Chains A and B, each alone.
Chain A
Amino acid sequence: EPEVTQTPSHQVTQMGQEVILRCVPISNHLYFYWYRQILGQKVEFLVSFYNNEISEKSEIFDDQFSVERPDGSNFTLKIRSTKLEDSAMYFCASSRTGPNSPLHFGNGTRLTVT
């Protein structure tokens, strides 16, 4: 069964550095999402992306964050100047037709900012 794949599984970076988290959604899916989960806390929506543009973003998704679909297969989340509080699990998800179809999640990238 097709899967959403995320790389790397674990990323360690120093405060102030830029990181790019990569995701390959399921190939015939059209809607893409990033969620994050700070350790032990709830899963929070960051951003949704459709037709090469952001369709919705949360208040967490400030100017520090950006998303891109550079080549038709990858979907990336860039964090420009990481802060300690950005340490979390970041989940990519995709769906075939948007809100009416189930989300398929990747295994997540654990980001540790030191």
Chain B
Amino acid sequence: AQTVTQSQPEMSVQEAETVTLSCTYDTSESNYYLFWYKQPPSRQMILVIRQEAYKQQNATENRFSVNFQKAAKSFSLKISDSQLGDTAMYFCAFMKPRNRDDKIIFGKGTRLHILP
């Protein structure tokens, strides 16, 4: 069974600093998808970034980038020039790309506080 582990329950950084959230996962699959979702205090789930395991290039979306280490089964999220609006819970998630097993497995989340 797949598992997703986020070892940092809570983090705080000063505004404008760079922060890295860690995520490891366990799977025997060779092809899969990894995601980072953001859940601000409004409770909505927002897709931040998505990585396909067969792509070696790390995904990037503006200030958000990932460090995907497939052999180590590691998928960390880096937020550059952090902003107050980045304060949220961040969930790492895993999905197998098969029609008969299409659920997303989430980690327990990391609560990120951006301090003014």
Identify 17 new A-B residue pairs, CB closer than 8 A, beyond the known A99-B96, A105-B47.
Answer: A35-B45, A35-B104, A42-B91, A42-B106, A43-B37, A43-B45, A45-B103, A48-B103, A56-B100, A99-B33, A99-B95, A99-B97, A100-B97, A102-B47, A103-B104, A107-B44, A108-B45
B108 → chain A closest CB, angstroms: 5
Which residues of the partner chain A approach B46 to less than 8 Å between Cβ atoms?
105
Which residues of the partner chain A approach B47 to less than 8 Å between Cβ atoms?
102-105
The interface centre, meaning the residue of A33, A93, A100 with most chain B CB atoms within 10 A of its CB, is: A100
A91 → chain B closest CB, angstroms: 6
CA distance A56 to B96 in the complex (A): 13
CA distance A10 to B67 in the complex (A): 38
Main secondary structure of the interface of A (DSSP, over half): strand
Q: Hey, which bits of chain A sit against chain B, CB under 8 A? A: 31, 33, 35, 41-45, 48, 55-56, 58, 89, 91, 93, 98-100, 102-108, 110
Which residues of the partner chain B approach A48 to less than 8 Å between Cβ atoms?
102-103
- Pairs across A and B, CB under 8 Å, 20 listed: A42-B108, A43-B37, A43-B109, A45-B104, A45-B105, A55-B99, A55-B102, A56-B103, A58-B103, A89-B43, A93-B45, A98-B99, A99-B96, A99-B101, A100-B33, A100-B97, A103-B47, A105-B45, A105-B47, A107-B42
